[in-house]
A and B are shown apart, each in its own frame.
Chain A
C-alpha cells in the first residue's frame, strides 16, 4: 500500500513551488531531484557530514533529516540562492574563492550555508568560534585550513557591504 502524496507549497530561493510529494521523500531528494536544485549535495544521509545543509526559515539544517512535507509553508535557501545567475558571488562565496576554501567542491554548499548562519550570529568570529561553528561539516579535501581562513575573510567582506 502506497501512502498518498501530499501537496506542499514551499518558497525556495525566493521562488514559490507547489508540488506533490510522497510522505517519505527526504527534503534533500526533493530539492535535488524534484526541483532540480542539484547544488545541495548528499554525503551520508544520517546527519553527520553536513553536505546537504540548507537554510530553513533562515536556520541551517540537514536536509537529509527532514521530510519534504515538513517544509510545507517554509522558506528555504540553497547554495543556488546565495547569488543568483548573473549576480556577483555572495561575500561568503567570494571569500572561499579568494582563500582556496574548496577543492572538490562537494562539501562546499553545506559549508557555505553553515558559514552564513555562523557569521549572522557572530559577525566577527575568532578562529576558535569558526572551528566550533563548522565542526558539523566534514570536508575530506582541505584539512579545513583554508575554510577557516575563508570564513575569517568572509567576515571582512561582509563588514564592507
Chain B
C-alpha cells in the first residue's frame, strides 16, 4: 500500500501555491493535512502527477476574531481549533463538533480547510459550516471570492472550486445570544465517520423559536441543510411536538444511501432520532445561554 510516484513541491505562500496550480491544473493535488488524501494516495485510488504541499504556508494558519465572527485560516490544524478559547466562546457548535473529527492524532495534523475542501458528506466540518452559514474565502487566478457552504458543496467529494483555486479561509459568525447549539452523531465506533450527524442551532425569544438551523451528515451527497424543518420550527414553542414534527420533516427530505454499515432506511430513521435529540439539547442550552460577545 504505497503511493504511486509523484513530484512534490512545498510552497511557502498562497501566491506560490496559486502559481503552481495555474501551471499544473488538473494534474496536481493540494496537500493540506493529508489525513484524507494520504490514505487515498497510499491505496493508489488517486495518482496525481504532482503534489503541492501547503503545510509550510504559515500565513494560512490562524484563528482570529473578525467581522463579528471568527476567521480561521485554511491550514489551521483541527487540534488548534479544538483547543481555541475564542472558538469555544464564539462558535460553540464548532467547538462541540471538533472532538468528533477522527482521533486527536488525526486532528493534530488535519486542517480545517482540508476537511472543508475534501467535501466528504459524512464529515463533521462541512455540516457545521452549512449549519452556521459559514463563509469560505477562495483565491484563484481571477482573484478572491467568498462562498457560502451551500455554494461550496457540489456533490460527493466534490466542491465548486476550480482546479486552479484554493480555499484559504473559513469564517463563522459569532453565535447570537439566547442561542443553543448541539452536535450529535452516531458512529459504529468512536472516531469513525458517523452514520448520521446532526448540527442544530436554536435561537429563542420569549421561549419561542426565533431562528432554527439544522444540518446533517451522512444523508446525502453533500452536507444537507434541512431548511424546511427549520422553517416549521420558527415561531413555535419548542415543545416536544414541535421538535418531533421537525425531526419527522428531516426524515422525509433526506435521501441517504445504503452501504455495508447501514441501510438507507436505517440512516433515514437515525436522522429523525438524532435530529430530535439534537434539537432538545439545543433548546435546553438556549434556555441557559448567556449573551455572547466577540
Contact = CB atoms under 8 A, between A and B. Distances in A.
Interface of A: 1-3, 6, 22-24, 26, 29, 45-47, 50, 53, 56, 59-62, 64-67, 69-70, 72, 114, 117-118, 132-133, 135-136
Given A61-B105, A65-B39, A135-B189, 7 more contacts: A45-B1, A60-B105, A67-B8, A67-B53, A69-B8, A70-B53, A114-B105
A59 B108 CA distance: 6
Contacts of A72: 10
Given A59-B108, A70-B55, A65 B38 contact: yes
29 contacts: A3-B6, A3-B7, A3-B8, A23-B6, A23-B51, A26-B2, A26-B42, A29-B2, A45-B2, A45-B39, A46-B39, A46-B42, A47-B39, A47-B106, A53-B105, A56-B109, A60-B108, A61-B105, A62-B109, A64-B38, A64-B42, A65-B38, A66-B38, A67-B34, A70-B10, A136-B102, A136-B103, A136-B104, A136-B106
B8 A23 contact: yes
B222 interface: no
Nearest to B190: A135
B55 A133 contact: no
A69 B3 CA distance: 14
B43 interface: yes
A46 B1 contact: yes
Nearest to A42: B1
A14 B47 CA distance: 35
B270 to A, nearest CB: 21
B34 A65 contact: yes
Nearest to B38: A65
Kindly list the 4 A-B residue pairs having the minimum CB-CB distance in the complex, ordered from nearest: A136-B103, A23-B8, A46-B39, A65-B38
B109 A65 contact: yes
A2 B38 contact: no
Contacts of A45: 1-2, 39, 42
Contacts of B99: 132
A43 B1 CA distance: 11
Contacts of A53: 105
B4 interface: yes
B8 A62 contact: no
Nearest to B7: A3
Contacts of B39: 45-47, 65
A71 B83 CA distance: 24
B103 A135 contact: yes
A117 B106 CA distance: 13
B191 interface: yes
Contacts of A114: 104-105
Interface in B191-205: 191
Interface in B88-129: 99, 102-106, 108-109
B49 to A, nearest CB: 9
Contacts of B5: 1-3, 22-24
A53 B103 CA distance: 12
A119 B103 CA distance: 16
Contacts of A135: 103, 189-191
Contact of B191 (A3, A56, A136): A136
A117 B53 CA distance: 26
Interface string B33-70: 01100110111000000010101000000000000000
A3 to B, nearest CB: 4
Interface in B1-22: 1-8, 10
B3 to A, nearest CB: 5
Pick the most buried of B4, B104, B191: most chain A CB atoms within 10 A of its CB: B104
B79 interface: yes
Contact of A133 (B79, B104, B106, B109): B104
Contacts of A136: 102-106, 191
A65 B1 contact: no
A84 to B, nearest CB: 24
Nearest to B99: A132
